[in-house]
Structure 1
Amino acid sequence: MRRLALSLLLLSMLTGCWSSIELNDQAFISLMIIDRNDDGIEVTFGIPLTNNLAGGEAAGSAANGQVFGYFSRTAPSLEEAIQKVQGDLSRRANLGQNRNIIVGRAFAESGITPILEMAARNPYIRLNTNLFFVDGYAKDEVANSNVVSERFLVTILKKYIEHRTVLETSIKDFMLSKASGGDGLLPIITFSDKSKGAVVGLSSTAGTGGAAIIRNGKLVEPFLTPQQASVAQSIRNQLGQYYFSVQSPTDGKDVGLYSTSIDVKTKIKNHTIMVQPVSEVVVTGNNSSINLTINEDIEKLEKVIMDDSNEQLTSTMEVIQQSGADVFHFDRYYAMKYPKEMAKLKDNWRDFYKDRLVIEFDSVVHLRRKGATVRSFYNKFITENEDGGDGS
């Protein structure tokens, strides 16, 4: 009887599904697209069409046609537009599964703060939702694109973030930046035309295209090029595998490399921001006479790489600085080091940041692997033959 009473007591502590919603009654939003037009804000939900997904078939196949649908409505406010789209759906929209929001140019120019306001008050919108930018009317660009390498576009966006192909910027990043002006960077998604498509005959395919600068929550010019966006990734310690080449210190011919960001150290000294990106570099190709078994030559090559890195970092930072957007939030470092001065500069920080703040870079490069051969194939097979050797 004691055991039975104890069991009944434990059972009374179990809860039931008092507010459950059947899966068949939910529309899982995988992508949200936000544009602005003459009538207001247009919200587009990207939803997998579960009734068209054929179980057990190859990726991208469908039983009755399309496997992904877009539902759009326009209203004066973001919330009203979302409600209108919900009114068109036969199922209840589930925003909890969404990890990607794409904004169009007109909406970004007017300000992305409506997204932050809604995310701060709506528990179903995750703060780690990734933000992307399309230079145009985002809905038209996305809806007319073709997904080639994956089943859904959202999978491609997810892979871009996982593999550090693009800058990782979330709603949380911009919410934290509001205290210092609402500045940041948005990764740009591009859509190529037919001549550049990955598969012959398709109208357009998705790709990456640099980064957009956001100042005080609004889009400003210019855009960062893909190379400059990669430099910004290195400052944020988000750079994945990046291929590039430099001129050899021995004869000026190309040496191919790729690098991976390891760490970034940022400090302030004598009113100067000091940024030190640390990266590992691997040699992928060598058309020069440099001998990678000699430490002196390796040190010379590392210096060339570091000088090239510092030059790119400095030129990219100049572009960002001249826009007046403190996208890396150097104001926080300045405020911690010089709180009294920052109190005086607070209202004029953007002018000080743009015209007077000195930012210096000191790249550190570690050359880790030099490849299976330390001498250039060009010198082995071509130069030696031209000099009368047998090329062996």
Structure 2
Amino acid sequence: MKRKLILLSLFLIALLFVSGCWNRRELNDLAITVGMGIDKSGENYRVSTQVVIPSQVAGKKGGIQTPVTMYKETGESLLEAIRKMTTASPRKIYASHLRVLVLGESLAREGIGDALDLLSRDQELRTDFFIVIAKKTTAEKTLKILTQLEKIPSVNMFASLETSEKSWAPTTTITLDQLIAELLSEGKHPVLTGIQVIGSQEIGETSENLDQIDPSAKVKYSGLAVFKKDKLIGWLNEEESKAYTYINDEIKSTVGVITCPEGGKLSLEMMHSKTTVKGSVTGNQPTINIGIRAQMNIAEVQCSVDLTKTETIAELEKLSNQKLEGFIEASIKKVQRKYKVDIFGFGDIIHRTHPKAWKKLKKDWDQNFTKMPVTVKVDSRIRHLGAVSSSLLKDMEKKE
């Protein structure tokens, strides 16, 4: 009995030091922000927030009202602009459920470091949202486009980028902590996926865009933005962006098209890819060797080939290897000659494998990167031919 009384007394004393939900916030007091855009307006920042309208997304309830609303303000700092939104919003902007951060291209060219400083310090903000660059437009205009399959545009942008990275490859998902790590890295400059507005901006901002089978406006991911430290300096096209994801071993699945030996096209679905990057230093000359092993399926045949022959499969594998090696090498050379910054992380490889040599090389690494020899070797294998083992065109030729 005494033991029980002692335990009860200890529990009662402990309760005195428990604060409970001292910082709780009611949902009715918060404006749930799922998308945020940051643009430059002269010397100031213009912040746009995409806020969910709960009544329009709850259950089956709907109507002519759009599912989100936008608040935007300009300030000398991001925090000032966000706090100024309370003059228009009846609720405090709450960004803990942020899905996408869009940075305007003009801001990115001036530098994104200051803009990221507030976000990295905010204790309420999670770091699992994606960061993208509004290509040839502003972040505000990008967030205004209404989408169909997903009621909330920012959720649509998040899901689209996630799906594209898994199934296509010229896009990449970067979160806040990953971006900051790359900005602070000595041997790698960051890249971010670009997003464009395709079609009529005016109609895309209205519910009319949702009432069409083929919407007048869409948002579409397009290429990778190349940064030198925190400043945007250029863009990679689709093929170059795919090369980047191959080098960084981020390929989950994608499609490649090769030309058949006798003409016509053949599509290969990449099912598995593994990239190994090795660095070496001879004297003061660093060298990078990239090895890629891949497994593919034949997905589509638009040429006359006999897929039942092992020599045909071997020839197709050889053509695939040559094409992959060709565009990856060309992409590396373009970055070396045009942008002159190491976005592939080759410096990190040298840093980890040759720390003593890195101490001498890191001061002028970008210059060393531009003249560094890089070799690419691809070993791809075709594992499956699909549901049929012969070419439809070849079968049709036999009937004639």
TM-score (norm 2): 0.86
CA distance in 2, matches of 1:47, 1:96: 12
Give the structure 1 partner of residue 39 of structure 2: 35
Per the TM alignment, residue 134 of structure 1 is displaced from its structure 2 partner at its CA by 0.9
Give the structure 1 partner of residue 109 of structure 2: 109
Q: Which amino acid aligns with 1:173?
A: Q
Match of 1:362 among 351, 354, 377: 377
User: Is residue 209–residue 226 contact of structure 1 (8 Å, CA) maintained in 2?
Assistant: yes
Q: How does 1:55-204 map to 2 (within 5 A)?
A: 55-57=59-61, 61-62=62-63, 65-163=65-163, 164=165, 165=168, 166-177=171-182, 178-180=184-186, 183-193=189-199, 199=212, 202-204=215-217
Q: How does 1:1-392 map to 2 (within 5 A)?
A: 1=1, 2-3=3-4, 6=7, 9-10=10-11, 13=14, 15=18, 16-57=20-61, 61-62=62-63, 65-163=65-163, 164=165, 165=168, 166-177=171-182, 178-180=184-186, 183-193=189-199, 199=212, 202-221=215-234, 223-249=235-261, 251-270=262-281, 271-322=286-337, 323-354=339-370, 356-381=371-396, 383-386=397-400
Unaligned runs of 5+ in 1: 387-392
CA distance in 2, matches of 1:385, 1:157: 49
Per the TM alignment, residue 87 of structure 1 is displaced from its structure 2 partner at its CA by 4.2
Per the TM alignment, residue 326 of structure 1 is displaced from its structure 2 partner at its CA by 1.3
Q: Say if 1:10 and 1:278 are closer, same or farther in 2 by CA, change over 3 A.
A: farther
Aligned residues: 378
Instruction: Classify the secondary structure of the residue corresponding to 2:39.
Output: strand
TM-score (norm 1): 0.88
Unaligned runs of 5+ in 2: none
CA distance in 2, matches of 1:86, 1:318: 50
Identity %, equivalent residues: 21
Q: Which moved more, 1:240-249 or 1:307-316?
A: 240-249
User: Is residue 144–residue 204 contact of structure 1 (8 Å, CA) maintained in 2?
Assistant: no
Instruction: Classify the secondary structure of the residue corresponding to 1:93.
Output: strand
CA distance in 2, matches of 1:318, 1:105: 25
Instruction: Classify the secondary structure of the residue corresponding to 1:300.
Output: helix
Per the TM alignment, residue 261 of structure 1 is displaced from its structure 2 partner at its CA by 4.3
Per the TM alignment, residue 103 of structure 1 is displaced from its structure 2 partner at its CA by 0.5
Instruction: Classify the secondary structure of the residue corresponding to 2:387.
Output: coil
Q: Which amino acid aligns with 2:243?
A: V
Q: Say if 1:170 and 1:330 are closer, same or farther in 2 by CA, change over 3 A.
A: same
CA distance in 2, matches of 1:336, 1:143: 40
User: Is residue 43–residue 74 contact of structure 1 (8 Å, CA) maintained in 2?
Assistant: yes
